[in-house]
Amino acid sequence: MIANPIDPVHFIPTRVLHLFTLSLFAATAVFADDECPPRYSYCGYSGPAQWPNLPIEKNECGGEKQSPINLVTQTRTPGDAIRVDYVAGDAIIRNTGHDILVTPTGDAGKITIGGKVYKLLQFHFHIPSEHHIHGAGASGEMHVVHQLEGGTDYAVIGVLLTSGTTYPALAPVFANLPAKACTKSGPIRIDFAKLLPKELSGYYTYAGSLTTPPCTQSVTWYVLEARRTILGQELAKLRALGENARPIQRNPMPLPATYVLPK
């Protein structure tokens, strides 16, 4: 009789031991709640140039309002300040195979822009930055993703990151970063209330898309002019996971961006 190549009696204990070892040393667990790693990548046959051809539902990566872009404006327009009302709470930190994704386990608050309320969904990182401002990129970019209350539209705040002093609200994220792809942390306390200032001014806004497949084109971007810093060793940790910035998109009609200074 030919033995089963994967003997369940011996396979399972090894697997359990492996999980135990992971949790012991990295305080992480393997996750099976999302497809991981995702079906796209940042180079080669599934790289950004091929994203429009990916066989995924509602793929808009070949659309005409694609992000990121180089933000260039000549005029400063008075507009609405972004009101930020986040609250501290637990979050799960995932290494999705392409980025570090921080998702609150409960209600983490909202932003209000011109009377519209958007709930905080998650934030994540790109290395190097995806958006450029007047032709200049940065070492990294944080995207804080929100969804319109009772709607489907997204509002994403982009924060360009450079190396420097610590970013206190992010310190627990970098202290619990899951180093292995497709693993996640347990619940980690994050002071979302300190993630951004209470009122945001000086931002570039335009209508674009998510920068990862399916590149959904119902995103209003708010890219802050002011860069923030994280520690050099934290940037290095993100960089060690691989670069994950979609190139600047050349749309058929350049997307008009507005630089807003609140009234």
Size of the site for Zn ion (CB under 5 A): 1
- Cα Rg, the chain, nearest whole Å: 20
Provide the token pair at 158: 């982009």
Nearer to Zn ion, 132 or 143 (CB): 143
Nearer to Zn ion, 63 or 79 (CB): 63
Q: Applying CB under 5 A, does 228 fall inside the site for Zn ion?
A: no
Q: Is 132 a catalytic residue?
A: no
Beta strands in the chain, from DSSP E residues, in sequence order: 28-30, 70-71, 76-79, 82-86, 89-95, 100-104, 109-113, 116-126, 132-133, 140-148, 154-163, 183-185, 188-190, 199-200, 203-208, 219-224, 228-230, 258-262
Which is the catalytic residue, given 10, 18, 98, 132? 98
Q: What is the three-class DSSP state of 71? A: strand
One-letter amino acid identity for 172?
P
- What is the H or E stretch that residue 22 is in? helix 8-26
**Residue 254 CB, nearest approach to Zn ion (Å):** 21
Chain residue whose CB lies nearest Zn ion: 143
Nearer to Zn ion, 143 or 228 (CB): 143
* Positions in 25-54 near Zn ion (CB under 5 A): none
Phi-psi region of 47 (alpha: psi -120 to 50; beta: other; left: phi over 0): beta
**Residue 67 CB, nearest approach to Zn ion (Å):** 9
Nearer to Zn ion, 81 or 200 (CB): 200
Cis, peptide link before residue 37, omega less than 30° from 0: yes
**Residue 52 CB, nearest approach to Zn ion (Å):** 18
Nearer to Zn ion, 81 or 192 (CB): 192
**Residue 124 CB, nearest approach to Zn ion (Å):** 5
Interface mask toward Zn ion for 120-159; x: CB under 5 A: -----------------------x----------------
Q: Is the dihedral of CA 164, 203, 124, 176 positive or negative?
A: positive
**Residue 238 CB, nearest approach to Zn ion (Å):** 13
Angle at 227 between CA 38 and CA 147, to 5 degrees: 50
First to last CA, the chain: 81
Residues making contact with Zn ion (CB under 5 A)? 143
Kindly list the catalytic residues. Answer: 98
